[in-house]
């Protein structure tokens, strides 16, 4: 009898596990005692519950069971046990999968699920005990115990049916909650979409405003540079001369701009004026014939050999501007090449984008450096080679010997060193200015195009600026270019840096 109790209880566990594995099917079969008995083919238990008078037949049936039938029952019991164990393993696997698939369910729903599963297994255990008592009541026969045990079994079966219904309804609520959450998320995304588009538009406007702000900063820097240089000329020399050609420092933007180029060009003009004034004072100290020097400069500029200066003794302004024209013409020579023709590289054509970034990076590094200190560390750097080359082009050996009485500065340059004299430091300020302008020109996209007024050309106020000041600030008619002083540039944004010219009356 004990073996039969175990087999039947295992069969009950199998049926219960099957109900748990398929809780949300399309067919809703309510778990009742009759259904339970039909699924387990326990017609013997139905006969016992329906007719208590068959006690003798039951005892005869039990006593007349043969050994063969017991062996078949044992074999069937083993198969049922194996099926029940596999079902239990499937149930454990199902529980594991359900647990993994519902990791995002909130803690309250998880706790309710675990409580439900605990109640299911508690009900199964109680039903097993009740069914064991039901079979014990058959031998010896005890109608009262059978009635109590039968009531307990039916009650546990009904309890399992209730738990199954709770589980099914919980799944439906979960699906509904997921659907509601998805619908709510979709509605929220639809409501938020216009605001996201507005935010993107605002971001674009912010970028535009930042660009405008950066341009305004550049204009302020230009104005500050102009004001600073104007206030520093009280003693006859500019601020750049007092500081050995050093630049007024301000914050460098992260990318090159046309306004930065304009500010650098302004610095170049100031340093060229300072260097020219220094050179002119040395020439006067050496008792040079300045008129002859001006005529020589103009003859070099002119293609016909004629001169536009009517006076044989040019005044101070003519001499100063002619000398500045000579210096800038030498210093700008080769400006359109990426290395001032110091070598034959064309890297700017092979990889333009990388070359622009590299030039602007060098510009930012070079801007805050003292050129004399830099050449003391790296005398043979490209900038050092440039300085040596341009100095020898501007200052002729006879000119240097006349001004200083020796060729010591040139000899130091030829030996790979850089002098520490005041004149050479002043020259380094000009060399740094043109070097920075060159780096910035090759950093811009598109690069600026430079132009120069030709001798004898009509004055054009859009592209030219007179170095002489006229009453009322207006150039009188009939003026032509006597000689160019500094070149002009046309930038990518359409703005123009005017070429500086020395005007003379038309003959």
- Per residue of the chain (507 residues), what is the pLDDT tens digit? 444 444 555 666 666 666 556 554 444 444 444 444 344 444 344 443 444 444 444 444 444 444 444 445 445 444 444 544 554 555 455 445 544 544 554 566 677 777 877 888 888 888 888 888 888 888 888 888 888 888 888 888 888 888 888 777 776 666 676 677 777 777 777 777 777 778 888 888 888 888 878 878 777 776 665 554 444 444 444 433 334 444 434 455 678 999 999 999 999 999 999 999 999 999 999 999 888 888 887 777 664 344 444 444 556 678 999 999 999 999 999 999 999 998 888 888 888 999 999 999 999 989 989 999 999 889 999 999 999 999 999 999 999 999 999 999 999 999 999 999 999 999 999 999 999 999 999 999 999 999 999 988 999 999 999 999 888 888 988 899 999 999 999 998 889 999 999 999 987
Query: Has residue 326 been placed in a domain?
Result: yes
What phi and psi values does residue 342 have, to the nearest 5 degrees? -75, -20
Which of left, alpha, beta for 500 (phi over 0: left; psi -120 to 50: alpha)?
beta
Are residues 165 and 279 located together in one domain of the fold? no
Query: Has residue 63 been placed in a domain?
Result: yes
Are residues 268 and 186 located together in one domain of the fold? no
Are residues 183 and 293 located together in one domain of the fold? no
Q: Which residues of 19-45 are buried (b: 16+ CB within 10 A; e: fewer)?
A: bbeeeeeeeeeebebeebbeeeeeeeb
Are residues 251 and 169 located together in one domain of the fold? no
Structural domain ending residue among the three candidates 166, 193, 220: 193
Are residues 155 and 249 located together in one domain of the fold? no
Are residues 328 and 402 located together in one domain of the fold? yes
Q: Which of 487, 498, 485, 488 is nearest to 319 (CA)?
A: 485
Are residues 392 and 298 located together in one domain of the fold? yes
What is the C-alpha separation between 265 and 252, in angstroms, rounded? 15
Query: Has residue 378 been placed in a domain?
Result: yes
What does R_g of the chain's alpha carbons equal in angstroms? 52
Are residues 168 and 247 located together in one domain of the fold? no
Are residues 236 and 156 located together in one domain of the fold? no
Q: At what angle do helices 290-301 and 258-285 cross, to 10 degrees?
A: 140
CB atoms within 10 A of CB 389: 17
The pTM assigned to this predicted structure is 0.52
Query: Has residue 200 been placed in a domain?
Result: no
Are residues 136 and 6 located together in one domain of the fold? yes
Structural domain ending residue among the three candidates 165, 193, 221: 193
Give how many domains the chain has, as a whole number: 2
Query: Has residue 244 been placed in a domain?
Result: yes
**122 lies in which domain range?**
2-193
Residue found under tokens 């008792």:
287
Query: Has residue 156 been placed in a domain?
Result: yes
Query: Has residue 201 been placed in a domain?
Result: no
Query: Has residue 355 been placed in a domain?
Result: yes
Are residues 35 and 128 located together in one domain of the fold? yes
Are residues 246 and 187 located together in one domain of the fold? no
């Amino acid at each position: 009898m004990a073996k039969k109790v175990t087999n039947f209880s295992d069969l009950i566990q199998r049926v219960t596990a099957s109900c748990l594995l398929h809780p949300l099917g399309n067919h809703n079969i309510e778990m009742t005692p009759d259904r339970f008995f039909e699924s387990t083919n326990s017609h013997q238990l139905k006969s016992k519950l329906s007719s208590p008078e068959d006690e003798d037949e039951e005892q005869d049936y039990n006593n007349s069971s043969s050994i063969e039938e017991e062996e078949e029952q044992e074999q069937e019991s083993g198969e049922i046990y194996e099926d029940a164990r596999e079902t239990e393993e499937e149930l454990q696997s199902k529980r594991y999968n359900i647990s993994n698939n519902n990791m995002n369910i909130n803690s309250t729903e998880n706790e309710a699920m675990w409580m439900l599963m605990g109640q299911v297994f508690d009900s199964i255990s109680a039903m097993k005990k009740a069914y064991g008592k039901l079979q014990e009541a058959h031998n010896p026969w005890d109608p009262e115990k059978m009635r109590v045990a039968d009531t307990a079994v039916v009650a546990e079966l009904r309890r399992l049916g209730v738990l199954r219904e709770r589980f099914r309804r919980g799944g439906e609520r979960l699906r509904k909650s997921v659907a509601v959450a998805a619908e709510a998320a979709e509605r929220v995304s639809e409501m938020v979409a216009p605001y996201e588009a507005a935010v993107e538009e605002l971001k674009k406007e912010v970028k535009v405003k930042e660009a405008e702000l950066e341009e305004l900063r550049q204009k302020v820097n230009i104005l500050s540079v102009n004001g600073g240089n104007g206030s520093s000329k009280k003693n006859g020399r500019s601020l750049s001369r007092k500081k050995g050609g050093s630049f007024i420092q301000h914050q460098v933007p992260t990318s090159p701009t046309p306004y930065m180029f304009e500010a650098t060009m302004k610095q170049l003009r100031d340093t060229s004026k300072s260097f020219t004034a220094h050179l002119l004072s040395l020439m006067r100290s050496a008792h040079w014939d300045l008129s002859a020097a001006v005529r020589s400069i103009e003859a070099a500029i002119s293609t016909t050999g004629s001169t536009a200066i009517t006076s044989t003794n040019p005044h101070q302004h003519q001499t100063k501007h002619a000398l500045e024209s000579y210096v800038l013409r030498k210093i700008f020579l080769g400006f359109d090449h990426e290395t001032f023709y110091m070598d034959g590289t064309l890297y700017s054509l092979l990889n333009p984008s990388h070359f622009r970034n590299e030039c602007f990076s060098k510009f930012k590094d070079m801007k805050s450096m003292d050129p004399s200190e830099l050449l003391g560390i790296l005398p043979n750097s490209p900038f050092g080679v440039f300085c040596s080359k341009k100095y020898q082009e501007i200052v002729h050996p006879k000119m240097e010997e006349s001004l200083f009485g020796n060729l010591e500065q040139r000899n130091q340059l030829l030996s790979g060193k850089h002098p520490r004299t005041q004149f050479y430091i002043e020259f380094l300020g000009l060399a740094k200015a043109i070097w920075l302008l060159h780096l910035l020109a090759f950093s811009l996209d598109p690069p600026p195009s430079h132009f120069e007024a030709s001798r004898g050309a009509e004055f054009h106020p859009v592209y030219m600026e007179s170095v002489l000041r006229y009453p009322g600030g207006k150039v009188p008619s009939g003026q032509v270019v006597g000689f160019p002083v500094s070149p002009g540039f046309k930038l990518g944004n359409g703005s123009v840096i005017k070429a500086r010219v020395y005007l003379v009356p038309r003959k």
